[in-house]
């Protein structure tokens, strides 16, 4: 699954960072916290790696 917006891509990147132990999970809020709790590392990698140049800031 590819990210549908820049916000989603950034949230996935934050959740992935916490999942890898690079940042403290208690710093996560909103969508990134939900992603951290519900998604696996490979799923987060796929979302976070989406090219965001052509993505809207927010999904409809």
Q: At residue 30, does pLDDT exceed 80? A: yes
The reported pTM is 0.89
Q: What's residue 33's pLDDT? A: 97
Q: What's residue 50's pLDDT? A: 87
Buried b (16+ CB within 10 A) or exposed e, 11-32: bbbbbbbbbeeeeeeeebeeeb
Q: What's residue 54's pLDDT? A: 84
- Cα dihedral 18, 16, 42, 47, rounded to 10, equals 160
* Tokens, residue 4: 């549908």
- The CA distance from 12 to 16, in Å, is 6
Map out the domains of the chain as residue ranges. 6-48
CA 25: distance to chain centroid?
13
Q: Which residue carries 């809020």 as its tokens?
A: 29
Q: What's residue 55's pLDDT? A: 86
């Amino acid at each position: 699954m590819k990210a549908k917006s820049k916000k989603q891509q950034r949230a996935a990147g934050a959740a992935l960072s916490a999942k890898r132990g690079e940042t403290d999970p208690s710093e996560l809020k909103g969508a990134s916290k939900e992603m951290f709790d519900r998604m696996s590392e490979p799923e987060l990698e796929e979302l976070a790696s989406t090219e965001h140049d052509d993505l809207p800031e927010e999904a409809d």
